[in-house]
């Protein structure tokens, strides 16, 4: 799944929260970067007390320390792509946005994380406007699920693929350069994702996999986009390869025996 070009190993930076259970957040991101041939770096925005059964506590990192982490990485190491995940609150969003404007990485993937699978809030509801106003205009691509897209737009959640596409166009108009609308919440046997850009709308259908092991899928997909985009020619090729890899990671999740709740996907299914 990785590029055959051996000239340069790409570098990917995750700006996200930590998952103590290892299945989501920066842990999932760094596993994904490694699995897809990128050197991974991290800026922590929050600590979570978390396992496969849910999130029991969140400790946000002070914004000034997030800025210090960004300065440390960008001042010394080439960053080919950035993935943003859990940002917790408006002050953290502003700090991250300022660093991205300062260093201007080529590819920025924004995973609009708001609520964990177990239902715990990972973004202060008052910070949704900051996420939309400060980070959407900086994002090369955003990856909202249907509830997140609805929250960003202040509308009802999409219930059809056409409504998904309409909301994707609205998010494009709000400033994102590309939008990957994730359709897993539609239900049914298919999980349709739609890539919306100024030039095209491309459907990426996939059969739903019957498994409870889907912890960290959103984090993993957005991290895969960040890892692969510098190795691919465009977003269509990047999304195609990232989604194919993720589906295989989900299909192999049953091989893991992690926790008693919603288990993680198998990031290293190609090796063990």
CB environment 16-50: b (16+ within 10 A), e (fewer): bbbbebbbbbbbbbbbbbebbbbbbbbbbbbbbeb
Q: How many CB atoms lie within 10 A of CB 89?
A: 16
6 is catalytic: no
Q: Known catalytic residue: 219?
A: yes
Which one from 182, 183, 197, 238 is the annotated catalytic residue? 182
Would you call 17 a catalytic residue per the annotation?
Answer: no
Q: Report the alpha-carbon angle 179-180-181, nearest 5.
A: 105
Catalytic residue list contains 243: no
Q: Which residue among the candidates 31, 216, 220, 243 is catalytic per the annotation?
A: 216
Q: Is 60 in contact with 51 (CB distance < 8 Å)? A: no
Q: Is 218 a catalytic residue?
A: yes
Residue 170 CA, chain-centre distance (Å), reads 20
Catalytic position from the list 67, 143, 197, 214 = 214
Alpha helix (H) residue ranges in the chain: 25-35, 63-74, 90-103, 128-130, 146-153, 161-173, 217-228, 235-251
- Tell me which of 22, 23, 25, 218 is the catalytic residue: 218
What are 134's two structure tokens?
Answer: 């400060």
Measured from the Cβ of residue 151, the count of other Cβ atoms closer than 10 Å reads 19
Q: What is the CA radius of gyration of the chain?
A: 17
Active site residue 48: no
Q: Give the total residue count for the chain.
A: 272
Which of 197, 217, 220, 238 is catalytic? The answer is 217
Nearest residue to 110 (alpha-carbon basis) of 145, 150, 79: 145
| Choice among 112, 219, 220, 263 that is catalytic | 219
Asked if 41 contacts 77 with a C-beta cutoff of 8 angstroms, the reply is yes
- The secondary structure of residue 27, as a DSSP letter, is H
First-to-final CA distance of the chain: 16
Task: List active site positions.
Answer: 182, 214, 216-219
């Amino acid at each position: 799944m990785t590029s055959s070009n051996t000239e340069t190993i790409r570098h990917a930076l995750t700006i996200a929260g930590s998952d103590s259970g290892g299945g989501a957040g920066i842990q999932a991101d760094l596993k994904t970067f490694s699995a897809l041939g990128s050197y991974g770096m991290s800026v922590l925005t929050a600590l979570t007390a978390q396992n496969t059964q849910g999130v029991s506590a969140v400790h946000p990192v002070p914004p000034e320390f997030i800025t210090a982490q960004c300065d440390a990485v960008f001042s010394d190491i080439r960053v080919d792509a950035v993935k943003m995940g859990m940002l917790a609150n408006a002050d953290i969003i502003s700090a991250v946005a300022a660093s991205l404007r300062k260093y201007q990485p080529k590819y920025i993937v924004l995973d609009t994380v708001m609520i964990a699978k177990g239902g715990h809030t990972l973004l202060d509801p008052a910070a949704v406007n900051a996420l939309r106003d400060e980070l959407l205009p900086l994002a090369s691509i955003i990856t909202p699920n249907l509830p997140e897209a609805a929250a960003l737009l202040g509308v009802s959640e999409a219930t059809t693929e056409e409504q998904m596409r309409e909301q994707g166009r609205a998010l494009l108009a709000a400033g994102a350069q590309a939008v990957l609308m994730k359709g897993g919440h539609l239900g049914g046997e298919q999980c349709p994702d739609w890539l919306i850009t100024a030039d095209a709308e491309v459907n990426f259908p996939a059969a739903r996999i019957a498994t409870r092991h889907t912890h960290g899928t959103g984090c993993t997909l957005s991290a895969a986009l960040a890892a692969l985009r510098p190795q691919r020619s465009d977003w269509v090729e990047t999304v195609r390869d990232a989604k194919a890899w993720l589906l295989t990671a989900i299909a192999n999740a049953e091989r893991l025996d992690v926790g008693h709740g919603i288990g993680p996907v198998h990031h290293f299914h190609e090796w063990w």
